[in-house]
Structure 1
Amino acid sequence: MEFGIIGAGTIGKGIAGHLVTAGHRVVLSNSRGPDTLSDTVARLGPLATAGTVAEAAAAEMVFLAVRWLDIPAALADVSSWDGRILVDTSNHIVGPTPRDHADLGPETGSEFVARHAPGARVVKAFNTLYAQYIVPDPRHAEGRQLLFYAGDDADAKADFHAVADEIGFAPVDAGSLREGGRLMQVGGGPLSALHALKQD
């Protein structure tokens, strides 16, 4: 499977590092263009390349790792996803602290993302973990880092589960984008910022 990443901040680069270590090809993109990512892909090695957002979005599984306010612009140039998997790592934070989050009403963050990504099979993941639990190797002597995920498409969730397991996390299905998304959401979701290990 080939992977794309939209957003090359700490989370995007951390996920890219895990995928490259597992032997996968990754296309990284950001809002400033491929030329600004030359140092990043050089550090990641020959399996990583820099591309446009459209090129990253053409992969079989794409990780969205941009700030909440940047999501509409980041997805604007992808007119249709044609059933490709979009893994939403975002939290709906609009200020300097996790308490500064957007009022989504009855909608969850990933339902908002799905509206901006027509045709994508959206899976919510990584948003419950602080960066320091995502970037390093998730395998520890005491166990593997739990990784909650949610989605409405069973096949997309199964594919994501397999990838998350391969790169070292202990994936846990939290349910649908609506119900599981609420459990994982900042601002009251009981799984948000729950950092735990699974003993194998």
Structure 2
Amino acid sequence: MTYAIIGFGKIGQALARAFARSGIDVSVATTRDPESFASAAAAIGPGVTPKTLAEAVKADIIFLAVRFQSHPDVAKALPSWQGKIIVDVTNAYGVPPEQLGGRPSSEVVAQAFTGARLVKGFNHLVAAVLDQDPAVNGGRRVVFLASDDDGAADEIGALAENLGFAPIKLGGLSEGGLLVLARGNSWGRLVFKDLVKFD
């Protein structure tokens, strides 16, 4: 299984550090030349490889860590996303609900990535919290996952565990997904909640 993070701002870098901590190789990409962020990637760890967007989208599992407004540009990188899992880390905070046609933002993202299996996840924590070691006082930091594809949610749940997090599945995008959704000037009840699970 191969992994990529599209977007290398604070959230993208926090995710890259989670992969590096766990010793799992990951590609990172933006719409810019990889040379422009190669030193930042190298500083995180040897398993974090800067790539072009065209190279990064060859991965099996892709974390979408760009601004919500930029997701259509990333979606154009492939004619079909069949066989891939997209982890939607975006938030549509500030985007009017009318612009989304009243739908959850992840449904809008899913429509753009034709053929992909989409999981909403890792978006409810601010970058500074996501950046921390998920092992907290003998427990593990919670990440919420929502998807209309149970198999994809299970795969990302297993990956989250490998990254040291405690995944909690919330159900479909239009049900549990609304709990971790930010759009317009409001956010779901679980957004910004930093929870720790003790096994």
Normalising by structure 2, we get a TM-score of 0.92
Residue 57 of structure 2 is matched in structure 1 by 57
Q: Secondary structure at the match of 1:148?
A: strand
Distance 1:70 1:33 in 2: 17
Name the count of aligned residue pairs.
194
- Following superposition, the deviation at residue 168 of structure 1 comes to 1.3
Which structure 1 residue ranges, 4+ long, deviate > 4 Å from structure 2? Answer: none
- Following superposition, the deviation at residue 143 of structure 1 comes to 2.1
Contact 1:6–1:30, Cα closer than 8 Å, also in 2 = yes
Give aligned-pair identity as a percent. Answer: 38
- Following superposition, the deviation at residue 176 of structure 1 comes to 0.6
Residue 199 of structure 1 is matched in structure 2 by 198
Question: Which segments of 5 or more consecutive residues in structure 1 lack a partner in the other structure?
Answer: 94-99
Instruction: Answer yes or no: is 1:102 the counterpart of 2:101.
Output: no
Contact 2:80–2:115, Cα closer than 8 Å, also in 1 = yes
Contact 2:32–2:52, Cα closer than 8 Å, also in 1 = no
- Cα RMSD of the aligned pairs, angstroms, is 1.4
Matched ranges for 1:154-165 at <5 A: 154-165=150-161
Cα 1:169–1:51 shift into 2, 3 Å? same
Question: Which segments of 5 or more consecutive residues in structure 2 lack a partner in the other structure?
Answer: none
- AA aligned opposite 2:173: L
- Following superposition, the deviation at residue 188 of structure 1 comes to 4.2
Could you report, residue by residue, the CA deviation over 1:14-48 in whole angstroms, capped at 9, with x for unpaired residues?
Answer: 11111122222211100112111211221122212
Residue 96 of structure 1 is matched in structure 2 by none
- Following superposition, the deviation at residue 159 of structure 1 comes to 0.8
Residue 69 of structure 1 is matched in structure 2 by 69
- Following superposition, the deviation at residue 106 of structure 1 comes to 2.9
Distance 1:21 1:189 in 2: 29
Residue 168 of structure 2 is matched in structure 1 by 172
Q: Secondary structure at the match of 1:27?
A: strand
Normalising by structure 1, we get a TM-score of 0.91
